Amino acid sequence: MKNTPTDPVPLLQDLIRCKSVTPAEGGALTYLENLLSTHGFVCQRLIFREEGTPDVENMFARFGTGSPHLCFAGHTDVVPEGIAEGWTYPPFAADISNGYIYGRGATDMKGSVAAFAGAAIDFVRSAAKFKGSLSFLITGDEEGPAINGTVKVLEWMKANGHIPDHCIVGEPSCVDRLGDTIKIGRRGSLSFAVTVEGRQGHAAYPHKADNPIPKLARFIDRIATATLDEGNEHFDPSTLAVTSFDVGNPAGNVIPSRAAAKFNIRFSTEHGFESLKAWVADEVAAITAQLGGTWAISATEGADAFITEPGSFVGLVQDAVELETGVLPKLSTSGGTSDARFVKDYCPVLEFGPTNATIHQTDERIAIDELRDTQAVYARIIAHYFSAEL
């Protein structure tokens, strides 16, 4: 007798009702552990800590021991609900209305977790003797500092022989409808803080002061109008955004002694951290040669740019999405950062999940039909993966 497909709706409702605001576990990992272990997954709860950061609970679950090994990576932690009174339905009640499930994490990303869990359970029930392994890497630290989550779980997986051959991250990748976008890479992120020291003085006697503002303004104008690159086959041109310009001066008749600015560069694979640091240093040197000043530069590395080149794995997922949704997905590298930036150091990785219109918003929600269709896409990906030669 054929097994009845698992319905992801109650799974998602149960997960939403776990108030797992980062870094709190909130019962979400316990729920998943109980669910997956019931169906033969061997689950490991992993708690990591680092001085000055909160302890974080994570989970790794695996069915099977052989290859090929497909891993689903995701997170059960969510951002705070904001002003709860602004929600149409309580943010952790998982109410259903007009075909939608409302709640914090409905799309980012408990919906994907529920959908993949349902698909994985159905697969191992119907193909218990399949060749290979299916696993889950679930963190409670994606919306937080991302220090005690996926990074350290991957280190543990490597030390214990659990590195997968391929990985799908369940971030909500689609824009207008399910199936329109697969993310096969991400731009890099590098932030800078620049300070120029001068000499304070009276505005009526500017020749007796050393005003740092024109120096910094010239620098900011120079970098803000620069063309970093023209982009490439998979990436749009790199961008630079100035996020702060501050002199800390409330007085209108005083020339300040210091001016500071911050900016962020989102870059393609045309660049790396070191090349961009060198470019900024060269730009500072050019302004210093013109206008002088004492400059200080600091850089904070966010994530490096990466790409999973289209090939058999990307093609398999793309085909599965099109067969289930009728949409040929665009291969994209847009958006901010995700935990895929850590996974890419271990195996090929891509991101696919539902539409992202309401992520982090009041009244975050997912259509029930979309949730079930997401599970159907994941089910087809799993079935094709373990029947294909990648």
Higher confidence at residue 2 or residue 91? Answer: 91
CATH number for position 77: 3.40.630.10
Q: For residues 232-240, give the mean pLDDT.
A: 94
53 pLDDT above the threshold of 90:
no
Q: For residues 324-350, give the mean pLDDT.
A: 94
390 pLDDT above the threshold of 80:
no
Return the residue matching tokens 């303004």.
217
Are the beta carbons of 337 and 183 closer than 8 angstroms? no
Report the percentage of the chain scoring pLDDT > 90: 92
Number of domains comprising the chain: 2
Specify the pLDDT at position 153.
98
Q: For residues 203-230, give the mean pLDDT.
A: 96
Specify the pLDDT at position 128.
65
Q: For residues 157-180, give the mean pLDDT.
A: 98
- Name the token pair of 360: 């982090």
Position 97 in a domain: yes
Q: For residues 129-149, give the mean pLDDT.
A: 93
Nearest to 288 by CA among 363, 212, 232: 212
- Name the token pair of 240: 């630079």
Return the residue matching tokens 């689903």.
72
Position 381 in a domain: yes
Q: For residues 343-355, give the mean pLDDT.
A: 97
pLDDT tens digits along 297-320: 999 998 899 999 999 999 999 999
Does one domain contain both 163 and 105?
yes
CA gyration radius for the chain? Answer: 24
Report the percentage of the chain scoring pLDDT > 70: 99
Does one domain contain both 51 and 38?
yes
Query: What gap in Å lies between CA 353 and CA 311, rounded to an integer?
Result: 20
Q: Which of 285, 303, 321 is the last residue of a domain?
A: 303
Does one domain contain both 193 and 310?
no
What pTM, to 2 d.p., does this model score? 0.90
Query: What gap in Å lies between CA 264 and CA 299, rounded to an integer?
Result: 10
Position 287 in a domain: yes
Distances (CA, A) of 268 to 106, 121, 193, 228: 30, 38, 21, 10
Q: Which of 273, 303, 333 is the last residue of a domain?
A: 303
Does one domain contain both 37 and 148?
yes
Does one domain contain both 116 and 20?
yes
Position 2 in a domain: no
**Mean pLDDT score across all residues of the chain:** 95
Does one domain contain both 27 and 155?
yes
Specify the pLDDT at position 6.
96
Specify the pLDDT at position 262.
98
pLDDT tens digits along 184-199: 999 999 999 999 999 9
Identify the band that residue 2 occupies on the pLDDT scale cut at 50, 70 and 90: low
Are the beta carbons of 266 and 228 closer than 8 angstroms? no
CATH number for position 253: 3.30.70.360
Specify the pLDDT at position 359.
97
Residues identified as active-site: 77, 142
pLDDT tens digits along 280-303: 999 999 999 999 999 999 999 988
Identify whether 109 is preceded by a cis peptide bond (ω within 30 of 0).
Answer: yes
Identify whether 172 is preceded by a cis peptide bond (ω within 30 of 0).
Answer: no
Does one domain contain both 207 and 298?
yes
135 pLDDT above the threshold of 60:
yes
Are the beta carbons of 167 and 269 closer than 8 angstroms? no
Q: In what order do the strands lie in the sheet with 349-351?
A: 42-50, 53-63, 133-139, 69-75, 166-169, 349-351, 181-183, 330-332
Q: For residues 213-220, give the mean pLDDT.
A: 98
Residues of the domain holding 71: 8-186+305-385
Does one domain contain both 87 and 176?
yes
Query: What gap in Å lies between CA 372 and CA 169, rounded to an integer?
Result: 18
1 pLDDT above the threshold of 60:
no
Backbone angles phi, psi at 135, to 5 degrees: -140, 165
Higher confidence at residue 389 or residue 58? Answer: 58
pLDDT tens digits along 68-84: 999 999 999 999 999 99
Does one domain contain both 182 and 206?
no
CB within 8 Å of 360: residues ≥ 6 apart? 79, 108
Position 359 in a domain: yes
Does one domain contain both 202 and 151?
no
Query: What gap in Å lies between CA 353 and CA 375, rounded to an integer?
Result: 10
Does one domain contain both 158 and 236?
no
Q: Which of 269, 303, 337 is the last residue of a domain?
A: 303
Position 76 in a domain: yes
Does one domain contain both 74 and 180?
yes
